[in-house]
């Protein structure tokens, strides 16, 4: 079974371009949803368990990046498919809007859960240590949430601008572009017969 003939690479190109801010949006969301510190616990404290928090493991970091790559790759795949369907440019842009909304659909919950997993802040330093503490609990999460929403808005704005720009070009081409030369000639009417000078050679005389 053969694929439909490509109608041009424009849908794939615009989808790949819009995927850039979508990736950073997905990276912030993936971090809030999955990042967690490496815990070490042992018995012996007054409350029963002693707990120390360490930086996330390499496996956790790899999982964050892999999940962050899925939305832009999905959008790029949609753009590749749209090269073979009518109105592929518009479908790619609408898909970017839908994916951007879906990426951030649980952003508030992820922000709360990330704050609970880092009770001392993302720097893992208690607030009582005034010399080294940089982030209080929830401070980094608030900035990450705002960053994710900002990239989401950029993704949606680029998609909308692309749709409007393509519509404007289509309207200009269809209603305001100059008619082709052949149409202009047809509007003038039938062709004008050419005017030639008198034949000065005279009639031919047969030679006996």
Q: Does pLDDT of 148 surpass 90?
A: yes
In the chain, what is the straight-line distance between the N-terminal and C-terminal CA atoms, in Å? 78
Q: What's the CA gap between 30 and 37, in Å, rounded?
A: 15
pLDDT of residue 27: 96
pTM value is 0.77
Predicted confidence at residue 109, as pLDDT, reads: 95
Distances (CA, A) of 140 to 95, 119, 147: 30, 12, 10
Distance from C-alpha of 10 to C-alpha of 137, rounded to nearest angstrom: 45
Could you tell me which residues come within 8 angstroms of residue 133 by beta carbon, excluding any fewer than 6 positions away?
Answer: 121, 123, 125, 126, 127
Confidence check: pLDDT of 41 > 80: no
With cut-offs at 50, 70 and 90, classify the pLDDT of residue 1. Answer: low
- Dump pLDDT digits (tens) for 168-198: 998 888 888 765 555 555 555 555 455 555 5
Please give the share of the chain, as a percent, with pLDDT higher than 90.
51
Widest Cα–Cα separation across the chain:
141
Using alpha carbons only, give the angle 131, 133, 135 rounded to the nearest 5 degrees: 150
pLDDT digits (tens, 9 = 90+) for 94-144: 999 999 999 999 999 999 999 998 888 887 777 666 666 677 888 899 999
């Amino acid at each position: 079974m053969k694929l439909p003939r490509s109608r041009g690479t424009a849908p794939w190109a615009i989808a790949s371009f819009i995927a850039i801010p979508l990736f950073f949006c997905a990276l912030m969301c993936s971090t809030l949803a999955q990042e967690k510190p490496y815990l070490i616990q042992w018995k012996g404290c007054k409350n029963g368990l002693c707990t120390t928090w360490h930086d996330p493991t390499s496996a956790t970091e790899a999982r964050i990046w892999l999940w962050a790559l899925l939305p832009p790759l999905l959008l790029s795949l949609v753009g590749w498919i749209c090269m073979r369907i009518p109105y592929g440019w518009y479908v790619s842009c609408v898909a970017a809007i839908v994916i951007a909304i879906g990426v951030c659909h649980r952003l508030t919950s992820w922000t709360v859960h990330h704050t609970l997993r880092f009770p001392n802040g993302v720097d893992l330093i208690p607030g009582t240590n005034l010399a080294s503490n940089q982030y209080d609990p929830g401070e980094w999460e608030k900035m990450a949430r705002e960053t994710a929403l900002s990239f989401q808005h950029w993704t949606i704005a680029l998609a909308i601008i692309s749709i409007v720009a393509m519509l404007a070009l289509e309207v200009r081409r269809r209603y305001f572009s100059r008619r082709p030369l052949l149409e202009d000639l047809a509007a003038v009417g039938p062709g004008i017969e050419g005017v030639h000078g008198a034949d000065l050679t005279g009639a031919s005389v047969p030679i006996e």
